[in-house]
């Protein structure tokens, strides 16, 4: 049956070990992993350019037409390479998810996506102009010739159109106006664009049509990424969902717009879930089976129970309050590095948490499970009104039991003093510069808090952000 916050027996509010052994299970993530990943992507791009250079005919770049065509070819190869990298970044590879972090991977993915679309457009434009210069015709006529007479160019045009479509809906201004489901399923067309582009590369790419070695390298790279994608996004989730048999136990109303879903399963410790991480959830009833959403745990997990807390954001999240106990749940994960493993040994376990909106969920789990006590953790909880503070009673009990600091920052946005000004932050947390900071919430809050922390001279390496701005 569905419970209410006023009648249920309290669940949570007491420190429990994380499933899988807590914060010592995996190595500490850090900026070094991010830099290594970026360096690997750059090195790969350099290798792609070297393949283009090795297969460039001597003397072919001695005139304008040759230079333009050559530039178009290398841009096309780089676009295809980055498209491959984009898919690899979203393959949910554990090494990257746990040591770089999903939020960082998403930011790199978004930046590379912009470059990929720009390179693909540049490739098409320069190839048309280069071929037109060579044939001494106008670009429009040459574009028609390429579309009608060259094999698989129509496929390449369709791939470019799909990439442009995905790029447009990924722009922040557009993304924020779309339902999550629409945005998610449009993104799946990237796989179709990739397949269409691959066919075009082998049919028309001079680097591949005449070089068995290059074809082998390109096929191996694509097969490797496809294998990782299928294994970590399909095989592993299906196996884990069947093995652990997660189901909805109860639906708890935390406020008029927030519900907590209490889930049960078997042998959950083997998942090695850490407080602060998220999973992608699929609820197998008639209304939700086709939707998959990322939600963080809102309480430290144990061997038989998990909890997520969901705010009604106007999309399918609002209908989760109608789930029936016993509903089967499939899941992917755990994902993310927003965990206690990010703690810098130099901070002596001192932590500042800043949360707002749905960002309270991973911090609620961390607040419960962090080591230490007696003021070692302080949580600043931002909201416009007291009605927008779900889980606050639980947080108060944890703070009282463990001696942690808890400060609600209540007030309408854009009015009154800035709660994240350096002076206000230092007033609330006098030893601010000595603390590790965990920050999670909507984009506006994250931007304002980050700005205040930087102005307060908190080192960037000590500010850890989990962004919900997908």
Taken in order of first residue, the domains within the chain and their CATH numbers are: 3-23+247-335 (2.40.30.10), 26-238 (1.20.120), 343-467 (3.40.50.80)
Measured distance CA(272)–CA(18) in Å, rounded: 8
Beta strands 377-383; 405-410: pairing state: parallel
pLDDT at site 29: 60
pLDDT at residue 346 in the model? 65
Per-residue pLDDT of 25-80, as tens digits, reads 445 566 788 899 999 999 999 999 998 888 777 777 889 999 999 999 999 999 99
Query: What pLDDT does residue 10 have?
Result: 35
- Predicted confidence at residue 430, as pLDDT, reads 93
For the chain, list residues with pLDDT below 70: 1-30, 313-318, 345-347, 414, 468-470
Name the pTM for this structure: 0.80
- Provide the pLDDT for residue 435: 92
Position 208 scores a pLDDT of 80
In this structure, how many other beta carbons lie within 10 angstroms of the beta carbon of residue 429? Answer: 21
Q: Residue 347's closest CA among 309, 317, 378?
A: 378
DSSP-assigned beta bridge partners for residue 280? 294, 332
Given this model, what pLDDT does residue 27 score?
54
Q: According to the model, what pLDDT value does residue 226 have?
A: 95
Q: Please name the residue that has the structure tokens 């098409």.
A: 124
**pLDDT value at position 447?**
92
What was the pLDDT predicted at 151? 78
């Amino acid at each position: 049956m569905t419970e209410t916050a006023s009648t249920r027996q309290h669940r949570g509010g007491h420190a429990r070990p994380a499933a899988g052994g807590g914060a010592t299970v995996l190595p500490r993530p850090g900026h070094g992993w991010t830099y290594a990943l970026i360096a690997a992507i750059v090195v790969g791009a350099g290798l792609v350019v070297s393949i283009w250079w090795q297969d460039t005919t001597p003397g072919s770049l001695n005139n304008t037409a040759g230079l333009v065509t050559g530039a178009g070819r290398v841009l096309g190869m780089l676009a295809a390479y980055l498209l491959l990298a984009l898919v690899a970044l979203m393959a949910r590879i554990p090494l990257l998810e746990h040591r770089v972090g999903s939020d960082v991977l998403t930011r790199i993915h978004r930046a590379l996506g912009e470059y990929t679309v720009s390179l693909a457009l540049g490739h098409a434009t320069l190839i048309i102009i280069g071929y037109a210069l060579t044939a001494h015709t106008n670009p429009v006529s040459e574009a028609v010739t390429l579309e009608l007479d060259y094999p698989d160019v129509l496929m390449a045009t369709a791939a470019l159109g799909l990439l442009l479509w995905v790029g447009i809906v990924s722009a922040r201004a557009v993304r924020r106006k779309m339902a999550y489901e629409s945005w998610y399923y449009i993104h799946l067309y990237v796989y179709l664009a990739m397949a269409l582009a691959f066919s075009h590369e082998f049919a028309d790419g001079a680097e591949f049509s005449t070089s068995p070695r290059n074809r082998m390298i390109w096929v191996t790279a694509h097969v490797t990424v496809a294998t990782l994608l299928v294994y970590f996004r399909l095989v592993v989730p299906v196996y884990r969902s069947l093995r652990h048999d997660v189901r909805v136990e109860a639906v708890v109303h935390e406020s008029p717009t927030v519900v907590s879903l209490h889930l049960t399963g078997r042998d959950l410790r083997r998942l090695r879930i850490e407080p602060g991480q998220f999973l992608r959830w699929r609820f197998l009833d008639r209304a939700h089976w086709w939707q998959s959403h990322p939600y963080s745990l809102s309480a430290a997990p144990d061997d038989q129970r998990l909890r997520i807390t969901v705010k009604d954001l106007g999309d399918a999240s609002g209908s989760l309050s109608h789930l029936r106990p016993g509903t089967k749940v499939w899941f992917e994960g755990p994902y993310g590095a927003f965990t206690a493993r990010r703690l810098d040994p130099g901070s002596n376990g001192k932590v500042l948490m800043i949360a707002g909106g749905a960002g309270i969920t991973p911090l609620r789990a961390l607040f419960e499970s962090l080591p230490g006590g007696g003021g070692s953790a302080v949580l600043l909880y931002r909201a416009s009104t007291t009605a927008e503070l779900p889980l606050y009673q639980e947080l108060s009990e944890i703070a009282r039991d463990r001696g942690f600091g808890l400060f609600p920052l209540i007030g309408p946005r854009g009015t009154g003093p800035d709660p994240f000004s350096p002076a206000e932050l230092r007033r609330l947390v006098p030893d601010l510069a000595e603390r590790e900071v965990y920050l999670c919430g909507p984009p506006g809050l994250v931007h304002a808090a980050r700005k205040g922390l930087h102005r307060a001279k908190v080192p960037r390496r000590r500010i850890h952000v989990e962004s919900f701005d997908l």
